[in-house]
Amino acid sequence: MNDNKGIIPMPRHFLSILDLDKDTAHALVKRAKEMKECDFHSDLLAGKTVALIFEKASTRTRVSFEVGINHLGGNSLLMTPAESQLGRSEPLSDTSRVLSRYCAGMVVRTFGQEIVDELSHYASVPVINALTDMYHPCQVMSDMLTMYERTPDLANLKVAWVGDGNNMAHSFINAAILFGYELVLACPEGYDPDPNLMAHAKAEGARVTLVRTPEEACEGAHYVNTDVWASMGQEEEQKQREAAFAGFMIDDDMLAVADSEVKVMHCLPAHRGEEISEEVFESERSIVFDQAENRLHMQKAIMEWIFSE
């Protein structure tokens, strides 16, 4: 007798990088590189529709997911608060259970991490975190691919983060657990990453350090990362943040202490002349458009992993 008859298996979600183990994380990077090299297409999602639930506007995330879903044979459906009940009174639990009956999965770009957590709790289909205020796992997995293409031995790298201790910084901290690189974050006082995340990473053996000066973070760094000082939803803090982040713009002087072959990364959009100088952004050291392209390939690898379950 089969006691499991009628039991629906739990879907595979991707809400943070720590939903992966080390072997899976490395395998996804290698798989994404393979997909890029052969312009991978398949019929994995043939006849299926994936809902893109976007409470925040997007260029790279939306387009790369829409194109990626198409490359895997599927269709995408964009949902914004203006076009659905997302911005109104319907409970997330209801939205999740209804969409699970229409769609093969949900890709969610929103504010609080608790939103993707609740959607995934009630979903009977996979949920992918396309960005929250806490994490940006698809972007940072794409960044792992971008580094891996140039320096496959990620564990021997020093990576610098210069700027706000935001969702990007959080995902780089989590990724340091899985990929083993040394991560030094330079954040002005009052803009530190979540201390619990830092403590967890260190407890897991990750080499993560928080410093106050960008030069200390950049010294000998192979990759230097930054992001805008005021993220979406923080526009009213722009002037305050400009004052707090004075001296944190990545420029030629800052990079003088980095490795001679240093590469500069930015998840875009960039505010040239604020967190990164025009000269650095347009220089050969900048690999920001490779990062942007790699969103497509990594998201295809993540979706293949999720929907092949």
Of 103, 187, 218, 267, catalytic: 267
139 assigned to a ligand binding site: yes
- Per-residue confidence band for 83, with pLDDT thresholds at 50, 70 and 90: confident
Domain 17-135+294-307, CATH: 3.40.50.1370
Cα separation, 107 vs 135, in Å, equals 14
Q: Does the active-site annotation cover 291? A: no
> 13, 227, 241, 266: which is the annotated catalytic residue?
227
Please give the radius of gyration of the chain, using alpha carbons only, rounded to the nearest integer.
Answer: 20
Mean pLDDT along residues 149-153: 98
* Strand runs labelled E in 61-100: 75-79
Structure tokens at 8: 């629906």
CATH pick for 151-286 out of 3.40.50.1370, 3.65.10.10, 3.10.310.10, 3.60.20.10: 3.40.50.1370
Q: Is 31 a catalytic residue?
A: no
* Rounded alpha-carbon distances, angstroms, from residue 139 to 85, 97, 103, 106, 211: 27, 27, 24, 17, 24
Q: What pTM was estimated for this model as a whole?
A: 0.94
The CATH 3.40.50.1370 portion of the chain extends over: 17-135+294-307, 151-286
Task: Please write the tens of the pLDDT for every residue from 205-233.
Answer: 999 999 999 999 999 999 999 999 977 56
Tell me if residue 267 is catalytic: yes
Q: One of 62, 103, 139, 297 is an active-site residue; which one?
A: 139
Catalytic-residue membership of 103 = no
Is residue 234 part of the annotated active site? The answer reads no
Based on the residue annotation, tell me whether 101 is a catalytic residue of this protein.
no
Q: How far apart are CA 264 and CA 280, in angstroms?
A: 8
At 199 the three-state DSSP class reads helix
Q: Check 62, 241, 266, 295 and give the catalytic one.
A: 295
